[in-house]
Each structure stands twice: as structure tokens, then as C-alpha cells.
A and B are shown apart, each in its own frame.
Chain A
Amino acid sequence: MKKFLAILLLGTALVAPVAAYARDVTIQGQMSSYRGPEAYLAVYLAKPDGSYDSTLYVAGRKSRYYRDLSGWARLAARDATLSLDGITGASIGSGKSFSINLSLADALIDAGYTIHIDSAVEHQGSAADDVVLALDSGQSGSAQSGQGFIGSASVNM
């Protein structure tokens, strides 16, 4: 089980000057057994209208491969406030499980926001919106199956 801690103070999503307003949220997932090199993932938040809000986490250290996460890369290109410092971690191998700890503003929960995960694997293509998870406390912990390299993922809040 890999644990990645991302401390996020970016964009509109994360209003966390006072700790009391923030909530610990964990994204847990399981990669499918696609057999191949480790996957790059981009985890980002979308507004209730479906438009891009902010980037939460990127798995994979070589930034020149980020453009393979083409769906996310296009959206993030519009995000003038994006800084990747502190929100990147190691890429994730085939069949491995992963867990990403986030601290999100209370106001984002049950307000129609969604978490999108894009994935890409060297020589094997990419999957935009591999998994989309609703930030809905009613669905906390219920697993969604992925479309691409992610087997399943859930969000716990």
C-alpha cells in the first residue's frame, strides 16, 4: 500500500487558512493488471458544471511525460495558478494499490464537485477520465471501476 501525502494550498478549491474548515479525504485505488511499466496519474477537481477547477495530485516524476496525460494537460494549461511543487509522487505499478491523502475545504463536499483521475502508461496510451468520483459523502467508500489502467477507486471522507 503506497501512501502519498499531498499538502495542498492551491486554487479555489482549497480554502484552508483555518484547519477547522478542512476535511481529510483519502482516495484509494487499485491499478488493473495491465502488465507494463508504471502508470502516470493526474488527479484533478472539477466544478459542478464539469469544468476544470484545480490539480490535486500527479503520480510520476518525469514531467516530460505529463503531456501524455493529454486530457488533464490541456485543462491544466489554462490554470495560471498551478504549481506542481509538493503534489507529485512516484508512478504506480500494474496491479498495485494506491492511496492519496488530501485535505479539502469543507465547502467542496456534497456541493456537486467531482474528482477526475487521468492515467497514461509508456507505449500503451492514456485514459482521460479513467475514473470520476463524486465528492458526495453518501458515496464515501463505494468503489467505481476504472475505464483504463485503473481497476477501481473510491473516495473516503
Chain B
Amino acid sequence: MSGKGLVDAERRRFNRWALAPSLIVLFMIAGLPAIYLVVTSLTPFQLVNPGSSTDFSSPLRNYRLLPDDPRFVNSLWVQAKLSFWGVLFQVLLGMLLALLLHTQSRVVEFARTFFLIPMVLPPIVVAIIWKLIYTPDISPLYYAAGLLNIALPSLTSSVDFALTAIIIADTWEWLPFTFLMVLAALQTIPDEFSEAALVDGANRLQIFFYITLPFITPILVISGMFRLIDSVKAFPLVFLLTGGGPGSVTEVTNYYAYLLAFDFNEIGYSSSVTIVMLLLVVAVSLGVVWMGRRREAMA
């Protein structure tokens, strides 16, 4: 082996040893609980049933029960609606806002900072803010509607509006994230492209569709994917605003898993719900990445 090869081998060995402590810590804090979750999902574990945590007599029992559980199936559907509309609004509005605020001005800089506030608030505070907004007898929204003689229904206890109410609150909270991502992408586009297009007689819409959009598409896909993964964690909003109701209209999968574990005491079954949800999120995320790559390859 040449001297350079020896140095490279030495460096690789050093890198492995240097990384080992971090990997061990990462495995312990992320890997072990995940493995325990999988193991638990293979048992009928109930807190008040001693021995049930090590009962592997029918390991797939929980998974077999899932398709026949109407609340679980409904929760997936609710989650899909919440994720789809939430991510769509957040990406589109974030992009629109970024395009509007992609200029140099002190006022705009202040506005950018202002738009970041919802994202940095603790999720439970966001939920409380929206609880106040949605409560008819104390809400400024209802007060303003009253002044305009508009009769608003109760948004969080209405079958037709409850999920929309959560989507609106979720969008308000996470819009700044997509806004920031797109704004950063816009700032990397060289001005020469749009200047040349203007000289060639392109209008603003054509510049957007043929120059800006292709540049920011990867960022839109990435932020959409991040938000998609995060959208399954809209727990505080559901917990505080609707409690999954009315009926099961806003009962998303992780809220159902929470109820199963902590209200009904079915830890094993709840774990299987969580595992299925995790697999679905991974599958959808991979699908989004695959579509993004395919689009890039075609371009």
C-alpha cells in the first residue's frame, strides 16, 4: 500500500473511532426506544396486567386487529386530510409571502421578523391562542363578526368546520417555516436570468413560471416533506381545541394512539398504531422525494 493509501486508511479508522461515541449516544436515545416500541407492539401490554409486556404468544395480534378498528381507519383518513390541506396551504402561502417580501426595504425586514413569531411560540401557547379565538363568547373574531352582523357557527364544535379550524391554526403556526425556506431559495437566484428574460420581453408571470419556479421547486419539495412529517404531530392543537371531536371528526392517528395508551391503558395496541403511522409517514416521505428526483431527472 502506498504512503497516501496508508494515511487515508489511518484517517478513516480515526474517523470511525471519533464518531463511535456520538453513534452510541444516538443509538441509545433514538434507537433503543424505537426498538422497544416495536417490541411492545408485538405484545398485548397493558399497564395493570402484570406479565403482559413479555407475552409474545400472538405477536401479530395487534396488527391483525387494526384494519377492523373503525376509529383507527377513520384517524388515518382524518390525518390524511389534515396533512394534505395543511401542507398545501403552508407551501403555497409560504411561497406567496416569500415572493411578496423578497425585496430590500426596512419595512419588509420588520415584516419578515414579525411573520416568524408563530413558529417560535411553544405549540401549547399557539393552541391556547386559537382556543381563545375560536371560543364564541370571549373571542375577538366573534365580536368583530357580530359588529358586521355575521353569525359565525361554533368553529371547533361544528362537524363542518372543526378540522378546518385546526388546519387554519396549524397553517398559522408553520407558515413561517416554508416562508423562510422559500425566501432563502429566492435569494440564491442570480438576477441575470430575470434581467435577460425581461430584455427578451417576458412578463412577470412567465419569469415566475420559467425561471423562479424551477429554481425553488427543490426547496418547495423539501419544505413540503418536512411539514408533511411534522404534520402528524399536530397533537397540541387537537388536544386543546377539539379533543378529537365532535365525535371523531378531528381524531388524528397520534391522538388516538395517545388515548389508547393513556386513557384506555392499551400500551401494546397503541404501539402498533404508532408503528403503522411511522411506516406510512416514511412511505409518503420517500414517495415525495422520489417524485422530486424524477422531476429533476426529467428536467
- Does B associate with A? no
